[in-house]
Amino acid sequence: MTATTPTVAIIGAGFGGLAAAIELGRNGIHDFEVFERGDSVGGVWRANAYPGAACDVPSPIYSFSYALETRWSARYGSQPEIHAYLRRCADRFGITPKIRFGAEVVAATFADDGWSVELASGEVRRFGALICATGQLSRPRIPEVPDRSSFAGAQFHSAEWDPAVSLRGKRVAVVGSGASAIQLVPAIVDEVDRLHVIARSPNWVANKCDHATGGPLHALLRRVPGLARLQHNAEWLWFESRVPMIFNRLDPVRTVFQAWLRAKIRREIRDPALRAVVTPDYKVGCNRILPSNDWYPALDRSHVSVHPHAVARMTPQGPVLADGTVVEADVVVWCTGFTADEYLAPIRITGRDGRLLHTEWKDGPEAYLGITVAGFPNMFLLFGPNTGSITNTITYLLEKQARYARMAIQHLATRGGRLEVRAEVQNDYQRWLDRRLRATVFTSGCPGWYHTATGRVFAVWPGSHLEYARRTARFDPADYTPGA
């Protein structure tokens, strides 16, 4: 690259940040720095160390396409394995020396065709371009429950697991029934004395087609040329084939699928009343379908109680639910998700002419291709608005976003200055997204984190991964306003 290649700041060292850094490095752009607030790479896979934590996407496709792993212990990798994989990738591609650990970015300000990045320590660094890869699932959300601090026992979010707290023989309340809860509850059910699952709204749960992968398969994947790639491609195509299910026109098929999922509930739960409590009242696919073979049997255990009500307030003894039930507990675990609708918070992002990103996004985040935002030149997002993967693997989308950002940075290298997506291009794209989303199950009305309080869907990509790859395959300077 030429001497005019902009220096690049990358915020975050999870899958997204590593995808960006590796993409730059593999294409000859080496003048970048990664800022990571944690003490290692991994993002959510560093933070989410609760019992049973694992991926709900098969590991052969939940990995970089250029760094396929051949030694997963099972089809679905565990949190320690995924964390170790990301550390190996950072080392293999020479990214680790470029990461500043324990460096939390608190603000980024655009001026004079560049970005000033401010750290919590007060240090300010100057860069030509900014890549934000903090993800949508980086800040734990705990509901604002009255008197929460009055609880006499231990309490923490599942993403902030306290390993010093023993659950053995304890009365434990798990608040939530999403992706973390369905892994945590089966993992601790045999350890606790009493388990309360406070699940205001149930999720659709499907079978998890998992299996152990031992030494013989590992040896074959390593030694047979192309076998790991074949495994990856087969898994990828199978998941990509599920895309039509997000569209309303397939409601007849959806009805059959829901009947099959209800049959799973009947097979795995004996109590008719409990069956009713765990059966969703919304269309399958409206939010993420969770894979588990252990969730329903765990709920059906004699020492487990399921409460279909929200937590109204806390007392020293435990949560008080909306129906007045007092749940006495020694430990409360909040499996209540993340602040996905507050993307990039609490970082203060100031763009051209002093505009604040969080003000611009007051009605919900939006970005062209989920990557660039009008008014914020030379800034690129990974896992930005409407790029969540619901049918396949997010790593594929991250690779395409990193590629697009790299092409834009290479374009900047040829002319310098700034590059800002035109407002009319972003608005046209958002109108297309809204039209497409209206044809999907995501707007049919259901609980979850895919939409804002006003109902606007901001989190998921409403199409195939191949379509997203096609839309991001080429950087078109005509979509952008250059600046000297």
Confidence at residue 474, expressed as pLDDT on a 0 to 100 scale: 97
Backbone angles phi, psi at 247, to 5 degrees: -95, 145
Measured distance CA(468)–CA(462) in Å, rounded:
9
Confidence at residue 269, expressed as pLDDT on a 0 to 100 scale: 97
Amino acid at 183: Q
Confidence at residue 446, expressed as pLDDT on a 0 to 100 scale: 80
- What tens-digit pLDDT sequence spans the chain (484 residues)? 444 789 999 999 999 999 999 999 999 999 999 999 999 999 999 999 999 999 999 999 999 999 999 989 999 999 999 999 999 999 999 999 999 999 999 999 999 889 999 999 999 999 999 999 998 766 888 999 999 999 999 999 999 999 999 999 999 999 999 999 999 999 999 999 999 999 989 999 999 999 888 788 888 988 898 999 999 999 999 999 999 999 999 999 999 999 999 999 999 999 999 999 999 999 999 988 999 999 999 999 999 999 999 999 999 999 999 999 999 999 999 999 887 667 777 899 999 999 999 999 988 899 999 999 999 999 999 999 999 998 999 999 999 999 999 999 999 999 888 999 999 999 999 999 999 999 999 998 887 778 887 888 999 999 999 999 999 999 999 999 986 5
Nearest of 188, 210, 211, 208 to residue 293 by alpha carbon: 208
Handedness of CA 29, 32, 36, 39 (dihedral sign): positive
Confidence at residue 451, expressed as pLDDT on a 0 to 100 scale: 83
Confidence at residue 387, expressed as pLDDT on a 0 to 100 scale: 95
DSSP bridge partners of 173: 196, 332
Confidence at residue 1, expressed as pLDDT on a 0 to 100 scale: 42
Measured distance CA(116)–CA(128) in Å, rounded:
9
* Matching residue, tokens 């039930």: 325
